[in-house]
Structure 1
Amino acid sequence: MPLKVQKVALWSGEIEDKPGTLAKVLEPFAQAKVDLQVVLVERNPAKANFGVVYLGPVKGKKATEAAKSVGFSEVSTPVVLRIEGQNKPGLGHLMTNALAEAGINLSFVKASVLGNKFVAFFAFDNDADAKKASRILSTLKLPRG
């Protein structure tokens, strides 16, 4: 079974690094019944006491209003691909090695396994690298068993 690869349009904003700020950011999305599929949060090493949130998808009027109400905007970088499929030992190496052999650099990777399935978010510095990576990952020959 091939990997499912799709581009994810992210919205982003800055938050204070203190208890409750992420909950406040997510509240308007919950109230609008927006089904966020990805929420990535990390501290900003360049700015003490602040973090950055990436989330998506933000589609439709209610979702867009929720995002704007917390000061978020759509970002052009990083360009993120959502990859999902059957989990197999060594698959992370197989995917990242295929990209390395193609000369594609990753901005970040977030991945998780649940049961026998995995989902990963691979980020790239530009759309050209993401498109090339999407082609490579979509056609990657996966190990059997």
Structure 2
Amino acid sequence: MELITERVEVWAAGIEDKPGSLANVLTGLREAGADLNFILARREPDQAGKSVVYVTPLNGDAELEAAATLGFNVTTRVHSIRVEGENQSGIAAALALKLAAAGINLRGFSAAVLGSRFVLYVGLDSDEDAAKAMTVLKQA
């Protein structure tokens, strides 16, 4: 199976848990020219009234300046890999098994299929785990 694997920087911002908060930060990034490949937003389970949004990629001075103004910072706790390839039944399970067999503990795992392709984002705890995961995925 041919996979495209790459390390990616994921950016995070805290937002209010109320209507329009997510739309406001995404609009700010769009106006700066961001063409996002991944967005994940969720409530903070231990902080009432707070949510967090994760995005990637952010490139160039205008996007980075807008991101900083909107409260985004590159995540340093989550080390992320983007994987893309031809979709096939069970591909997520197969890749998760390969990572598990290599002793890699996953911090996060998000996948979607569009047409005949899948995209997967894997979150890991350290640079070392990310490097090991890249090696495993490139051999898949």
SS for the counterpart of 2:121 is strand
| Matched residue, 2:68 | 68
SS for the counterpart of 2:123 is strand
TM-score by length of 2: 0.95
- Alignment map for 1:14-93 (pairs within 5 Å): 14-93=14-93
TM-score by length of 1: 0.92
> In the TM superposition, what whole-angstrom CA distance separates every residue of 1:72-124 from its partner, at most 9, and x where no partner exists?
11111211111100001111111000111111011111110111110011101
RMSD: 1.0
Gaps of 5+ in 1: 141-145
| Matched residue, 1:143 | none
The offset of 1:24, in angstroms, is 0.6
SS for the counterpart of 2:98 is helix
Over 3 Å off, 4+ runs: none
Identity over aligned residues, as a percent? 40
Gaps of 5+ in 2: none
> In the TM superposition, what whole-angstrom CA distance separates every residue of 1:3-47 from its partner, at most 9, and x where no partner exists?
111111011110111111001111221112211111111111121
SS for the counterpart of 2:46 is coil
> In the TM superposition, what whole-angstrom CA distance separates every residue of 1:45-66 from its partner, at most 9, and x where no partner exists?
1211211111121221101111
